[in-house]
Structure 1
Amino acid sequence: MSYNIKYDNVNDTVNNWNFRKEAMVRLLQHYGPQFVGMQEVLLNQLDYLDEHLPDYSYIGVGRDDGKQKGEYSPILYNSQHFELISANTFWLSPTPEKVSKGWDAALERICTYGRFKDIQSGKELYVFNTHFDHVGTEARKQSVNLILQKIKAVNTQNLPVVVTGDFNLEPDSEPIQLMQRELTDGQQATQAPFYGPTGTFNGFDPDMVLDRRIDYIFVENLEVQRYLHIDDRMENNKHISDHLPVLAELGME
């Protein structure tokens, strides 16, 4: 699953995190994804989710200091089913190993990744999760190149790979088309028909036509059995976040 949960902004009134967090936990418990690549997660949000989702552990760091400050792009994983082998975070910039802003980006941006082992089968895979800049055109382009280079560098054994993220880019953009050439767009490869609205961004507007797809799950060496954009809402028809969660059901080949 890929899910931008909208950061806990103290200025948010009706869409405040405190009004959304219980519904988010229920959604995650209902769908039970093995991995959730999240975006815009502050430490207090991560602590809440960690406390209320006891089957899950997480990897990731805050983008502002490489520790706990600023937004995380964490990967939650079901620790009952998967064992963490290694984890790392790099910055989407020309100096990826240190806290930095890249190219024309407005903010620091990161990619967190981990290598995991299926406890039952012993099979391993990589999961990468990212959140691209909302302003920098060059930054988004270079970020794709950097992530693809990193996958090639670490995945020397040609293991299955999942890439989740809010790319702040629509499918007709050049960087997304590069991702689609180098990896498999889960929506294009799904065996069951794609389910859900076209878009993933809702802006907390219950009446918005959902046609802007900016959140994705890409894979390599995995079959995509189902691919969904989940438009589940709270009782008052309010959205749980300003993005829809994206869910892919995957099979190891």
Structure 2
Amino acid sequence: MNKLLFITLIVLLSQVLRAQDVSLLTYNIKYDNPKDSINNWENRKTFLISQLRFYSPDIFGTQEALFHQLQDIQIALKQYQFFGLGRKHGDEEGEHCAIFYNKNKVQLISQNTFWLSQTPNRPSKGWDAALNRICTYGVFQKKNSNDRFIVFNTHFDHVGKKARIESSKLILKKIQKINTQKLPIILMGDFNLEMNTEGIRIILKELQDTNLAAGKNAFGPVGTFNGFHFHKPVTRRIDYIFSGKDDFTILKSGILSDSKDCHYPSDHFPVYTELLFKNN
């Protein structure tokens, strides 16, 4: 075979394969609390944003972000657009579970937000939760591809034990109701639940943990919640990216413990994954 033709075929093949995979990241970026002193948003946002720029996921979900934090990220990362509502009143106030997407890589088809409560269609607090909690989702299509998929991004309550269990059940019911076309599913966020808890076991009946499914292609520490304690082992894993069991091949997954000058950019580590659509 002509050498130039061979190289051209390899390049075209790599482009086709790239169109068939999707990279995602979930990140509790810690809300902007001036009382955090050295770890306040102004001191860590530059490194956090550069971290996002380096990994450059097609889609990333944030938890705890206030609207001005979302704006800071979007201003710096101009190829991304975000959507989502504040959990307090369904406007710009309060913490968001926003989803950012690279406009050059994926197209947003539709989006919405619901509350983790008995009245999910309006701002509300559910069961024994301490705060309003939400789940934001978007239907996407890969550019230069027919692949459509749905991404859900959430943040479970940190107090309510029943609320966390019922939130798992509610999200699975919502996925079933929303996903009438049987599209590939991704669920990510801060679940405030470790692996051996009932809420996670409920989710794993329907979805797979991409970090575990990656096997030898998983990288990083065991835990995701570091509490800004740089010199302590991180063993508590409460942040996850789940996917439909028959939707994707898990190419790789990482819990990203990047730091600068002995400081973490957030009190949670982000979780990153690359997925290959199984229909291809």
On whether the aligned pair clears a TM of 0.5, the verdict is yes
Give deviations 1:79-124, integer Å, cap 9, x for gaps: 1111111000000000000000000000000000000111211210
Contact 2:85/2:96 (<8 A) preserved: yes
Corresponding residue number in structure 2 for 1:239: 264
Structure 2 residue corresponding to 1:84, chosen from 108, 121, 142: 108
Q: How many residues align?
A: 252
User: Percent of pairs identical after alignment?
Assistant: 47
State the 1:192 CA deviation. Answer: 4.1
Cα distance between partner residues in 2 of 1:162 and 1:53: 23
State the 1:181 CA deviation. Answer: 1.6
Corresponding residue number in structure 2 for 1:156: 180
Corresponding residue number in structure 1 for 2:227: 203
User: Higher helix proportion, which one?
Assistant: 2
Corresponding residue number in structure 1 for 2:198: 174
Residues 94-243 of structure 1 aligned to structure 2 (within 5 Å): 94-190=118-214, 192-220=216-244, 221-234=247-260, 236-243=261-268
Cα distance between partner residues in 1 of 2:215 and 2:99: 25
Instruction: Structure 2: state its 5+ residue gaps.
Output: 1-24
Q: Secondary structure at the match of 1:12?
A: helix
Paired amino acid for 2:253: Y
CA RMSD, 1 decimal? 0.8
Task: Verify: 1:56 aligned to 2:84, yes or no.
Answer: no
Stretches (4+) displaced over 6 A = none
Cα distance between partner residues in 1 of 2:213 and 2:43: 36
Structure 1 residue corresponding to 2:273, chosen from 237, 248, 252: 248
Cα distance between partner residues in 2 of 1:252 and 1:45: 32
Give deviations 1:46-105, integer Å, cap 9, x for gaps: 110010011100110111110101000001111111111100000000000000000000
